[in-house]
Structure 1
Amino acid sequence: MPDMCPALYLLSAVFQDCCGDGLAFVEEVMSHDLGKRFAKTTSLRAVQVAQAAMDTHYPEGIYGYAAKLLKFVQDVYLYKDHRLRQFFDDGDFMISFTRMFHRLSSHFLSQEALSDKLVEPIINLYIHAMYSRSPEAIPHRIVIRNFRGLLTGGYLEMHARCLSKARGNVLESFCSWTMSPHILDVLTSWESNGMVDLLTRLFDFPDSRDYWRTFWSAVQNRLRVYKPVRMDEGWSNTCDNLSQCTRNAEGRDSSKTKQCSRCSSMTYCSPHCQRGDWFERHRNECPSARGEHFELSEAESLYSHRSRAFHTRYLEWLFEQRAVDIYAACAEGKNVPTETKIPVFDCTGLGDKFEPFNPDDLLAQLSQTSNDASDNIRSFRKSRYKQLVRTTRSLPTEGEHLVEGVFQHDSKSTIHLLVLLKRIEGGYKARYSAFYIL
């Protein structure tokens, strides 16, 4: 087979030689503005490799070339200087790169060597290298974008064909991201494009059938909540006012939604709620909120208001579906009133695990001192979290319940979202919410 990209071999060798003693390779690439063109060329080569794999009679040669390409990109992701890696954090590149291995796995389905030479390195790149082995946390926005690229490129189908013994683990590695509105958009397109039937067939093996049913059942629950709110223009009106909103919950106008222009961290259902929260609380915490907002913006790991609004609606749905079980679990074997317990849902997996929690324990957790330099910056969220917990001591009306949800934020942190639910005809409705990143 002819050598399709000798320059890539050369660049890979130079890169590996420079990794140990400095930034020469990255400086050279960046100084000539070659980074973007280099990533684009690598992406095109991935497509060419996939096409050649369909024609060649020497699959071992393709395996060798693909392994070198994979090793090079993995080196880029593990390298300490992120300036080069930024050009590979691109949805189009991830789609092309994944499609190359997807087509290889489809074409050489009977080749035993495929698992050893290609599939295992791919797992190391996409799961370990990108999410845990990186010297710094991968920004949440980039993880989501790459994840969408993997789905579009056929990542799940590839694993379903090649890793018969690990299909369940592959699905488990994706479950936490199914709580992201961005991923739910992709999963919605799966349904409309007939991808579900294809994936069901691919996972229809004794060792993975139950995993797939559990996975897709959980996805359907989340889509059931997400689809209607996505079509509602006012669905994201989750208000950050902890007092005005308790008296002003009804009659919100989505056209009057306001965001704090100073810190961009607080969103309100109306100008009235914004003014009330400013004089009562936010003017004291706004400077630290602004500091955190720009810190997270620079790291590209903000917990979007859109995500929080969906998580709030999901907690409403979970609580409504399991209200009877929750009351029984809180009261069983306890000599305490049911309303003094907080239902906590762990939504980082597929089972939406539930357990009742004591509000005093939550306050004790938040009162612990921390050596984290960002703890002072996040104190504005912590104070709001404490206030919501204290609300359980004197709920303004009957039929209100404080519910906590735990959601995956990135590889190193989770979101703890508190929502005060009010009983209404036909279900429950969130009165207000606040969150804290742990």
Structure 2
Amino acid sequence: MKYKNGTGTPACATLFILTVALLFITGCSTTPPRPPPPAPTGDAVVDYQNQLAAASEKDRALWQYRLGLAALRRGESDIATPALDDALAISAANYGNINKAAAKSRGMFTQEASKPFVGEAYERVMANFYRGIIYWAAGEPDNARALFRTGQLLDSDTLNKEYAGDYVLLDYLDGYVSAKLNPHSPDAGADALKRARASAAAQERAAPPDYETAANVMVFVDYSPGPKKYAGGDSGQQLLYRVVPASATSARLTVGGRSHALPPYDDVSFQAITRGGRVMDQILGNKAAFKRTTDTIGDVGLIGAMAVSNSSNSKDAQIVTGALLLAGFASKIISASTRTRADTRCWDNLPRYLSFAAIQLPPGKHQAELTFFDGKGNAYTQQTQRFTITVPDPAALPIGAATKDVVIYRSQMRN
């Protein structure tokens, strides 16, 4: 057997170590990157469209979520609708299914972020919520109700059942649509209203009011930045959430000489952090434990090799030194190649607080003013929004055309 000059490391062992390293390097290689999107234009909708066009398939839903909400905030439902529809379709196709990419992401040497993005539960819920708003605005409240129910169902699959299905507005809006579609049934929506108020009480939030089936203007408002994801733990294996300090904590709409309170019925950050653990958390935890173990074995092997090499220069000692070096380097390579980082891709333009008000206005144009307030009740005067609410005259509708609610969506969040 031949040896390296003065190192005590067998040449074949060194060759084997290099071969193992090469295998790990080539095994962890990725496909060539896609061409980058154009430089940002400052127009959020355009920039998200460019990002979507350049995105890999695994990131498509993420950019569609962001694009859909940005377009909705601009009143461009023709862009928001297909973006959210596509994202919801991708999420439905991949959620709970261990397809090839998802299965690969569970492997020791592949990142979780390599799988198709479907979002955490709160992100999928919000996609259903915003798509429901669009359906209601299009005169399809029954489809909106179906998505509100789907959102609540997605939130019901939690490890900590204490917080399962506890969105206030999803139940409240479910019942509201039922009450409006069945105006002669006094019990329509009653169960959903009861659930909404129970969730509000449990979270110490304002109780939503009784249903006013005569209301014809549905106002959806959100404010303050939503949760952000980050990786914690010694190996980045924990998916954690940063709750961004609230800017606004309440809002008020003034129209026709009357004010309508818009309290924070739901807190998206609360929903994110109370969701409970994920199946992937255990997998990542096992990866992190494996990474620590192999790293420790590597340390032991390398230190042991040094100790044997220093104690003797005999051929037997050199063989033992080489074996320990081999085991040490191999363990270090395996440890370094173990991918433990949690997937922190995030629908990052979501709001924190969700609110709603239903009001009744006569046909015509109505000047409205939306004001946001901080936790001390001070108004953000520079963020006050003034706009016109137009209520069509039913008598002016074409023969056979059904009346529909006017749906207003406004956000404190800018794209």
| Higher CA-based Rg | 2
TM bucket normalised to smaller:
under 0.3
TM-score (normalised: structure 1)? 0.26
Structure number having the greater helix percentage: 1
Which structure exhibits the higher relative contact order, with contacts defined as CA atoms closer than 8 Å and separated by 6 or more residues? 2
